[in-house]
Structure 1
């Protein structure tokens, strides 16, 4: 895919570097030209391809994450690609360390983390969740670090320039001039945005700048870039057409409070739920013990839809979350039927499960709802991923419904106990 502003010749292809899998899938779903999500940062990229690459850097140390970003940035910048670093819309992860390396060698850096569709906006350089400043919410309750009070603080750059809404909404010519002036000062430029139209304006303005100006943003900015390429065409990947619906295994690795209600909706519709205790998962062997594996096997045996989650996470040190995700993934992979499709919530959990299954790339098929992305593996297993904090009470129902109807066709009805759409 190439970006073609109306008054410019064919532009540079886009490469998206993500820090976790659910974020990578979220970006792939809204880019018309994306045909592959790469889980191996060293995998070869085809000429003019628009890949989304999961660097899996969220689970690393800041220094380790910075090295991954530096390697990927150098590699793809050398091809003349336009680069977008996918950041968490709530500023989680190693944003300062990664952005510092991502900006090296760029002629400017434009930062726009808003995702209006998820109630995540930016005003006066401060991320707001449904209108409430991020540092006044509980969104960081599971994070080991203090919540940043602004995007600039998350970037670790006191010299950051903020472009307020009145400049973002002043028209393409004015916004372009404002961006050029701000970028000339050599510091990152944070763009306020409260609507998709705001992000469309930012995307259009940046695409009129040299490709050496790099972008940091979440799914909202990525979607705005995708809209610059025209409407999303249906993406179908050929797969088997089974005579009966395949079993679906739902793995919930998020500690988000909304997950409890989502699981409850699934069980009301006939799913079998088993909560593996954090204590057993974090015991000797980090999930290799017989107890957690046996519980997982019992939950999956003979069930058309089964749910595995973690209980007792409220009493667990947040720093143990990566170990929990890895242990849960090992238990799932040890008992997962070969013909089962997957619903995976939480980027860390999704990535660890796919690593255990030796999956190195995904083919995006479509979106079930915002952030819930339907993909297929090269060996024809269907997978729906979603960030942990996304979706309403019926989110998991809708994700399962996409896999319990005709394979390859993302639908939005909950499944019925007989396997058909409800």
Structure 2
């Protein structure tokens, strides 16, 4: 029997990215605003939320539930509250994974503190080898460059932390270097239990997926539960070591077909490059001025320009300034009427994705497939096929490949 898995992520695309690691097990994503009803179920919350998977051909055994706390830019107190509320859904014998951004963005210290338990090892492994994001000497590197010298935090209002320990302050931290990670498994397991005994978090270095597999394997040797904190790379490592599910898994994704509506709300420069590559495929590209999103008639004009067409909607350049929650909400409200004419939605950026789905009344998602690193296909109750992608992910052709995949799916 597969172990039930609870994933807690601070945005929707991160939740989808981590959840997709566990396919073909039945996987669902629940937004934080639906947690109140879930918590009322108390001990049966996890099964109650995921039991509907059986109607899709899945089973309750080994279900994977991801909670999107939508807390990337929340206050520390609110982020801790949401993380703790999500943790209350963990079933007895289940495993919890706090999915974090591999470049340490968000209120990490507060959220990780909410996961700490007396004597329970809490292991932090942010490496994401698929995107060349490693941890060496307790510090994140992006493409071999120290995080604080990379462009990963260009759209953030403050400098990047120099080390993982700095991001987790004031919690005490111990570091397991590459020599320990690649050494005797029982020695790494002992480091996990020792850190827990002293009330410390254990930060593990990793450069490769094999390193992450070694970390997860050591966790199985501790003789008790381990709470995990890491990127989608760690989620994939946990999925690789978990038992295969019994009969009954999530069915294949329904056909994702044009016309598709691409909504790009992220402020990162790489997304603008992807938009330029995508422009030749799309029937129309609409650039919106954030200052005019709330103008009367904007939503109707946008719906008219995109109706029946595969379209790309994005905001004018933010000059390195992070999008405010108000701007994201206004963008979602503006595009919501247009979604009725588009069976497929491609949503880039975690805040944007959650805001658009909230604007059209779509809550829980069922994860169906992963097309590329971080590019996840889900369905929502109203029938839309939703493709999500973290804003900073991908090469210049990532969105174009999604578009080409849509065309291919239509032809098959």
TM over 0.5: same fold? yes
Of Structure 1 and Structure 2, the greater helix share is in 2
Q: Give ranges in structure 2 of 5+ residues lacking alignment.
A: 39-44, 48-59
Using the TM superposition, give the Cα deviation of residue 301 of structure 1 relative to its aligned residue in structure 2, in angstroms: 2.3
Q: How does 1:306-385 map to 2 (within 5 A)?
A: 306-314=311-319, 317-318=321-322, 320-385=323-388
Using the TM superposition, give the Cα deviation of residue 366 of structure 1 relative to its aligned residue in structure 2, in angstroms: 1.0
Within the candidate set 250, 254, 265, 2:266 is matched to: 254
**RMSD over aligned Cα atoms:** 2.3
Within the candidate set 44, 56, 69, 1:55 is matched to: 69
Equivalent residue, structure 2, for 1:45: 46
Q: How does 1:17-416 map to 2 (within 5 A)?
A: 17-32=8-23, 33-39=25-31, 40-42=34-36, 43=38, 44-46=45-47, 48=61, 49-73=63-87, 75-77=88-90, 79-105=92-118, 107-157=120-170, 159-229=172-242, 235-237=250-252, 239=254, 245-281=257-293, 287=294, 289-303=295-309, 305-314=310-319, 317-318=321-322, 320-406=323-409
Deviates more, 1:76-85 or 1:108-117: 76-85
Deviates more, 1:228-237 or 1:108-117: 228-237
Equivalent residue, structure 2, for 1:412: none
The 8 Å contact of residues 190 and 222 in structure 2, kept in 1 or not, is answered as no
The 8 Å contact of residues 41 and 55 in structure 1, kept in 2 or not, is answered as no
1:2-43 CA distances to partner (integer Å, 9 max, x unpaired)? 24xxxxxxxxx2211111100000011111334211223343
Using the TM superposition, give the Cα deviation of residue 267 of structure 1 relative to its aligned residue in structure 2, in angstroms: 1.4
1:362-385 CA distances to partner (integer Å, 9 max, x unpaired)? 111111110110111123210110
Q: Distance in 2 between matches of 1:127 and 1:368?
A: 26
Using the TM superposition, give the Cα deviation of residue 235 of structure 1 relative to its aligned residue in structure 2, in angstroms: 4.5
Are residues 191 and 335 of structure 1, via their aligned partners in 2, closer, same or farther at CA, if it must alter by over 3 Å? same
Q: Give ranges in structure 1 of 5+ residues lacking alignment.
A: 4-12, 282-286, 407-418
Normalising by structure 1, we get a TM-score of 0.85
Using the TM superposition, give the Cα deviation of residue 181 of structure 1 relative to its aligned residue in structure 2, in angstroms: 2.7
Using the TM superposition, give the Cα deviation of residue 175 of structure 1 relative to its aligned residue in structure 2, in angstroms: 2.0
Q: Which structure has more RCO (C-alpha within 8 Å, separation ≥ 6)?
A: 2
How many residue pairs are counted as aligned between the two chains? 387
Q: Distance in 2 between matches of 1:223 and 1:324?
A: 33
The 8 Å contact of residues 282 and 312 in structure 2, kept in 1 or not, is answered as no
